[in-house]
Amino acid sequence: MLIGELAEKAGTSTRTLRYYEQHGLVRADRDANGYRQYDDAELRVVHEIRSLLAAGFGLDDIRPFVACLRAGNDLGHVCPDSVEVLRRKLAEVDSYIGQLTDLRQRLRAQLNEAVEESLCQTMTCQP
Amino acid sequence: MLIGELAEKAGTSTRTLRYYEQHGLVRADRDANGYRQYDDAELRVVHEIRSLLAAGFGLDDIRPFVACLRAGNDLGHVCPDSVEVLRRKLAEVDSYIGQLTDLRQRLRAQLNEAVEESLCQTMTCQP
DNA sequence: GGTTGCGTTGACGCCGGTGTCAATGCCTAA
DNA sequence: TTAGGCATTGACACCGGCGTCAACGCAACC
């Protein structure tokens, strides 16, 4: 399978596939031409990458998952290194949710303050 | 007040103050030298900017808050345009929290799956 | 008058994933 | 043989807030 075909099957671009390869995620043999020749299994790998990227992982985080697939596992997240990344990401997400929740509180407070302020102007209340 | 002094008082850098000015947030008169000369009120403005940036607003979002302060209000968020931005941001934050919560669910599910998998290997269970 | 220290503008770098263009080479069908 | 379609590598562009450096002007003190 050439790069254009894989790109289409994976729903991405050739540029992207080369980028992944440059970062050690996707592998390709080379034809005598120098053209990249992809194994069928790489489609699965690319899907895994796209899925994890969409979830907010970075390319470096994704490497263990790909390695896990290459090691013969059906799922990329069942290996110790992947689990470690999952744990770390979960902690990050938790922390982030916490921060956003705090921020949300402050935004609501400011909105309320602004609304009361404008009520005071129209209805002459005593703050 | 010269730029270095304002930068120190505001806990930021001169580079940053020029950047804010370039984006229409901070104002300065000029000495005969060409040196920027800052009004005392600009310190308040810079603090407002820093605070909102820290909360995740972008410079464009912050502009109405600064305008609100310049209009003579004690608080930058009591003007209609500011309120509009606050509402939008609150919606964004809500949406983002939702997405992160979903993601969190998926991460937990994958972790559980991985853990059960490894238990199966050590304890010969029947999935 | 030279040094030191602050001011000025302008420009590049970073991060991360990808679009996009350029210059060039291979393959295939008309 | 020529066109055009796909391949190759390399490099620039983007976003956003700022660090950082360059090359220079002005102020003040010794």
pLDDT digits (tens, 9 = 90+) for B43-75: 999 999 999 999 999 999 999 999 999 999 999
Is the CB of A33 inside 8 Å of chain B's CB atoms?
A: no
Q: CA-to-CA distance for B79 and B81, rounded, in angstroms? A: 6
Between chains, do A114 and B78 touch, taking CB under 8 Å as contact? yes
Work out the average pLDDT over A25-31: 95
pTM of the predicted model, to two decimals?
A: 0.87
Q: Which of these, B110, B30, B42, lies nearest to A78 by C-alpha position?
A: B110
- The CB-side HSE value for B41 (13 A sphere, CA atoms) comes to 16
Is the CB of B102 inside 8 Å of chain A's CB atoms?
A: no
B98 beta carbon to strand C: under 7 Å: no
Between chains, do A114 and B77 touch, taking CB under 8 Å as contact? yes
The predicted pLDDT at position A127 comes to 47
The predicted pLDDT at position A115 comes to 82
Does pLDDT of A72 surpass 80?
yes
- The CB-side HSE value for A110 (13 A sphere, CA atoms) comes to 24
